[in-house]
């Protein structure tokens, strides 16, 4: 069974709800470790077959800057050839933070198993279904 790291930051609970949908989508298909970004780093990358990274838009549509961005920057050089999915929620803007993050991951050589999933505030039924599809694609 594949081993997946589910690493996310959630300030309001919206991104956490998205992470829960991914965990549900992976149930019975993979061994999932849910990890706080403050407890994850480059040394953890070889312990997993795939990665689900989640972070809401913050400030001027950027990744959360105190915990998530430093962690993500620290693992970026190890993303080449790794199968990942990206997800997160936002409350304003048009998803620019996710487009920038996706481009950054592609430039790092990551393999995006599914289009990133974003939700305006709490995830609706369409977002939940997309998250479960993304989870399945991650381990297929």
pLDDT of residue 43: 97
pLDDT of residue 60: 87
In the predicted model, residues of the chain with pLDDT beneath 70 are none
Distance, in Å, from the CA atom of 122 to the CA atom of 75, rounded to the nearest integer, reads: 28
Both tokens of residue 86? Answer: 């990206």
Contact 90, 59 (CB under 8 A): no
């Amino acid at each position: 069974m594949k081993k997946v790291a589910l690493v996310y930051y959630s300030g309001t609970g919206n991104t956490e709800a998205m992470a829960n949908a991914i965990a549900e989508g992976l149930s019975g298909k993979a061994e999932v470790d849910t990890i706080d970004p403050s407890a994850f780093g480059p040394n953890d990358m070889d312990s997993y077959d795939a990665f689900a990274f989640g972070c809401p838009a913050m400030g001027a549509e950027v990744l959360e800057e105190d915990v998530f961005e430093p962690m993500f920057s620290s693992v970026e050089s190890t993303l080449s050839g790794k199968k990942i999915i990206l997800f997160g929620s936002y409350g304003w803007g048009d998803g620019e933070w996710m487009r920038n993050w996706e481009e950054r991951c592609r430039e790092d050589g990551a393999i995006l198993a599914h289009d990133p999933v974003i939700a305006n505030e709490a995830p609706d039924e369409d977002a939940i279904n997309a998250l479960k599809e993304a989870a399945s694609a991650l381990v297929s």
